[in-house]
Amino acid sequence: MFSTLKEDIQTVFARDPAARSVLEVIFWYPGFHALLFHRLAHKLWGLRFRWLARGVSQMGRLFTGIEIHPGAKIGRRFFIDHGMGVVIGETAEVGDDVLMYHGVTLGGVSLAKTKRHPTIEDKVVIGAGAKILGPVVVGRNSKIGAGSVVVRDVPPYSTVVGVPGRVVFRTPGEASRNNDLDHGELPDPETRALQCLMDQVRELDHQVQELREEMKRSREDKEPGDKDRPAAPLPKSLP
């Protein structure tokens, strides 16, 4: 137990440059508190003390603003930064070394009592306000941009942005080891699509201008008598 607590505290220092002391982490970090409540609730859930487990979970929600269902499976070195508004459903699975920001939802889209919540593999970063819905799998070392809505599986080493979430690029494994998610450098797929359309419109406009110039030159090159000469009659059809 103490080794797990020590690891959780070390994870806070590794992920949050604002952390200044161990006492600060123990007393004032809601993400750290939420994990403590969840571990107790998950243990009770596994022992089939379901009512009591839900009570502990709700106490954690009251004190931290983070709601983690007792049935959810959480890996090691999981860190929730700030944490307010985070919701993790019953059948969700979170791997090791996952970094999650406030407002994230790991939710379900089905009423069936089956696996209906996401699976987050190791070393995934989930930006603030992102929603991952349904029994989708987010591959290891992937990054989900803030405000994205993910409803399909995400391959490993991918970066996802948008509504619905789209993979905007994939990086080799060695280049994705860090947990940085620089939103200022993320591409905007909608803006890129509009830019492609504008480029095509400009190209078509250029071609139309060239055709007009060519037709104007062809009219100017005609002989003066050609303008008044009647057009040749169409040939009669064969009997």
Cα distance between residue 79 and residue 82, in whole Å: 9
Please count the structural domains in the chain.
1
pLDDT at 191: 75
pLDDT at 224: 58
Q: Strand, helix or coil at 13?
A: helix
Residue 202 lies inside a defined structural domain of this protein: no
Cα distance between residue 194 and residue 229, in whole Å: 49
Q: Strand, helix or coil at 235?
A: coil
pLDDT at 239: 47
Residue with tokens 């809601």: 30
Residue 32 lies inside a defined structural domain of this protein: yes
Q: Is the pTM of this model over 0.85?
A: no
Sign of CA dihedral 171, 175, 177, 183: negative
pLDDT at 66: 97
Cα distance between residue 68 and residue 92, in whole Å: 9
With contact defined as beta carbons under 8 Å apart, do 104 and 78 qualify?
A: no
Residue 12 lies inside a defined structural domain of this protein: yes
Residue 144 lies inside a defined structural domain of this protein: yes
pLDDT at 178: 55
Q: How far is CA 235 from CA 55, 113, 204, 226, 239, in A?
A: 95, 79, 37, 20, 12
Cα distance between residue 28 and residue 44, in whole Å: 25
Residue 71 lies inside a defined structural domain of this protein: yes
Per-10-residue mean pLDDT of the chain, 239 residues long, equals 88 92 94 95 96 96 96 95 94 96 94 93 95 96 93 94 86 58 67 84 90 84 59 51
Q: Which CATH number covers residue 113?
A: 2.160.10.10
Residue 214 lies inside a defined structural domain of this protein: no
Residue 163 lies inside a defined structural domain of this protein: yes
The count of other CB atoms within 10 Å of the CB of residue 198 is 10
Side by side, which strands form the sheet with 73-74?
73-74, 93-94, 119-120, 137-138
Active site residues: 117
Q: How far is CA 119 from CA 145, 151, 157, 204, in A?
A: 17, 12, 15, 46
Q: Which domain holds residue 185?
A: 2-191
Q: Enter the tokens of residue 109.
A: 């889209």
φ, ψ of residue 229 to 5 degrees: the values are -75, 130
pLDDT at 238: 47
